């Protein structure tokens, strides 16, 4: 299922045009293979920020056993990698060094994994209602898809890198091997496969969480970006798409430029620092040094079913019951 398509840009240089075409080619193969697959969710051109770091993932796949990140790279001519993992490419009769796309996607993967781990209590339920599920034991893979007309010198390339480097036309075959998907019945009877899997509700919850945090460079930061989120099936109530859209709209129109929070210990309402910790977003009072959760009862319906979201330096409160929204900081 394709959750987000490639965001086309007005490119002018030959290099950026070729790069965008390569991403479109990869997106085409992913669409042909997985557009009707409810358990393989594809997000193209995913940009997010976490811990003051920004990453852009060309293609992200979410499936029952984990995640696959795909880095698209337009390479014409020959590509070579030495035993130290250093990349070179040819252009005409000349050779040039280039950054390793494998290292690039590894950094993206590490940041994405850390963000999901920090928000696991919001996304995943508890196993048997007791133990909080996590993302650490899931399958995390990444590959680099290069142009189909590139010449890859695999004879002198380290095996570990060669395994991660695939031509676009063979990408789907590589992904099917990595994911090794089984029917629900086979997952039950195949005791040798010990990979923990996400159910459909959890897949949708992860997808909605990520789509909600996508940064669209062509829209103001205060606007909601919901490209094709309606395609996500059976979203759980906490991430119900229509309610999220309505709540975000209200949050924008009802937002205020001043904080409505105050320290529950000393009453300080201005001198504090927004923080994130084990139990979610909170403020640390600079007067008494104590903490106060940002979550509070809905001002409209008094419900405690509240969600706090961060956008740049702004924090927004959204009620999941009545859809009331307001900016708290």
pLDDT of res. 129 = 57
pLDDT of res. 260 = 66
- Residue ranges in the chain modelled with pLDDT below 70: 11-12, 126-131, 187, 218-260, 278, 312
- What would the pLDDT profile of 260-307 be if each residue is shown by its tens digit? 688 888 887 887 888 877 677 888 888 788 888 888 888 777 888 888
pLDDT of res. 304 = 81
Q: Give yes or no for a contact between 167 and 149, defined as CB atoms under 8 angstroms apart.
A: no
CA distance 59 to 211: 13
């Amino acid at each position: 299922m394709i959750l987000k398509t490639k965001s086309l840009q007005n490119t002018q240089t030959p290099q950026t045009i070729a790069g965008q075409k390569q991403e479109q080619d990869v997106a085409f193969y992913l669409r042909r293979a997985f557009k009707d697959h409810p358990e393989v969710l594809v997000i193209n051109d995913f940009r997010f920020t976490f811990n003051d770091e920004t990453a852009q993932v060309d293609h992200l796949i979410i499936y029952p056993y984990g995640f696959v990140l795909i880095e698209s790279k337009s390479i014409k001519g020959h590509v070579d990698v030495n035993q130290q993992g250093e990349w070179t490419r040819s252009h005409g009769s000349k050779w040039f060094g280039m950054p390793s796309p494998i290292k690039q996607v590894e950094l993206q993967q590490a940041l994405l994994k850390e963000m999901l781990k920090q928000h696991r209590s919001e996304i995943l339920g508890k196993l048997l209602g007791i133990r909080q599920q996590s993302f650490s034991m899931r399958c995390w893979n990444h590959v680099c898809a290069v142009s189909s007309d590139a010449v890859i010198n695999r004879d002198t390339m380290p095996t570990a890198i060669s395994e991660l480097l695939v031509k676009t036309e063979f990408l789907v075959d590589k992904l099917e091997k990595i994911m090794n998907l089984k029917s629900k019945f086979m997952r039950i009877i195949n005791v040798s496969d010990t990979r923990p899997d996400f159910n459909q509700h959890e897949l949708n919850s992860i997808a909605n969480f990520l789509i909600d945090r996508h940064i669209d460079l062509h829209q103001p930061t205060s606007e909601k970006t919901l490209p094709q989120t309606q395609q996500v099936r059976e979203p759980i109530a906490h991430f119900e798409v229509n309610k999220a859209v309505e709540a975000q709209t209200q949050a924008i129109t009802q937002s205020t430029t001043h904080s409505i929070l105050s320290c529950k210990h000393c009453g300080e309402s201005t001198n504090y620092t927004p923080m994130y910790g084990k139990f979610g977003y909170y403020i640390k009072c600079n007067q008494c040094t104590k903490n106060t959760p940002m979550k509070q009862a809905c001002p409209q319906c008094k419900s405690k079913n509240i969600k706090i979201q961060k956008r740049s330096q702004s924090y927004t409160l959204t009620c999941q019951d009545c859809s009331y929204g307001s900016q708290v900081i």
